[in-house]
Amino acid sequence: MATTPLQTLFRPHKMGHLTVPNRVFMAPLTRNRAHDDGTPWSTTATYYAQRASAGLLISEATQINPLGKGYIKTPGIYADSHVEGWKAITDAVHAAGGRIYCQLWHVGRIRHVDIEPKGEQPVAPSAIRANAKTFTHDGFADVSEPRALSLDEIDQIVEDFAHATRCAMAAGFDGVEVHSANGYLLDQFLHSASNRRDDEYGGSIENRSRMTLRVVDRIVQEIGSDRVGIRLSPLGEANDVQEDDPTAIFSYLVAELDKRELAYLHFVESFAGADRSNENAEVLKSIRQHWNGFYVANGAYDAEYAAKYVDEGWCHAVAVGRDFLANPDLPSRWLTGAELNAPDQDTFYGGGEEGYTDYPFATLGR
């Protein structure tokens, strides 16, 4: 009997040290529901456990040090209290049969001085202010002027990623995802518009890729390559990073990452409502050809397109954001064709359990 595209979507597959039971992953989603000190909110265990039927849960972006925080009420993974808080979450996910990676984050220049710790100037590859906003206690505000990192500070951030990785493992995560996308610190090093350095971290493609590759290599030293994924956004559609020739730098970077034999490569292919032009598709295709491992696509995929692109071999899995936020049982809804809950955008960021743990399951009794 022939396998349908939808059946392919629900076939297990080896990914690094894991075998994922399906190819419907939950994308990292910032929800701004942690304590101010970065300790996860206790109800977060319910939120993730509800969604444990995902092939893989990728946690919300989680800062590796205090200055890595750019938005209020986002979680950290560098203090003992963070490890303890996340341990309750990973335990709940595993008890529900799920798998979860921790996305490691440093926002760089996408930060306001009022974010805890207050008064600290943001850091970045270069002292170039982004045309972007962040979420403060007073609502959305323009980000502050950053200062350029010194070489010693760059070395320390690499070590902070390693420390955060150790904390993530102590907290029970199955692996980590390096956030080198969406205009945050590692992505800022990659792009010529945000990186004007004249040392070994600026100028050439090789130099601008150095920070991301150093971080990846240091994390691999800690836990091995088969527990490490990475997220990239080659089309640069977030937080004021532009690139004249994304094909050149991301082809180089992806080819280098391919040598590391990581668990997966996760591309932000497009944002909700963004242009999916043939030109953009060709850029992604050109870069994608340099990767031979497990590939996760992210870009407003629905069940039909997810099944099609997995079946055709473009990707091994899709990472879904808003629909997973609103449908804790999304894989089974896709499989059965059940109607989807509509996401409530007013409750995306901050708040309580409303719009967080109260979305209904399609299955009776949940």
Q: Which residues are catalytic?
A: 184
What would the DSSP string read from start to end of 154-165?
HHHHHHHHHHHH
Is the previous residue joined to 117 through a cis bond, with omega within 30 degrees of 0? yes
Kindly tell me the number of DSSP H helices and DSSP E strands found in the chain. 11, 15
Phi, psi of 107 (to 5 degrees): -80, -20
Do the beta carbons of residue 137 and residue 56 sit within 8 Å? Answer: no
Distances (CA, A) of 216 to 59, 120, 306, 353: 18, 27, 28, 35
CA-wise closest residue to 77 among 93, 61, 92, 90: 61
CA angle, residues 173, 362, 50, in degrees to nearest 5: 20
**C-alpha to C-alpha distance for 100 and 106, rounded to whole angstroms:** 20
What's the CA gap between 94 and 113, in Å, rounded? 37
Nearest to 261 by CA among 222, 237, 233, 225: 225
Tokens of 187: 């992505």
Helix-strand-coil split of the chain, %, nearest 5: 35, 15, 50
337 alpha carbon, distance to own chain's centre = 28
How many whole angstroms from its chain centre is CA 189? 17
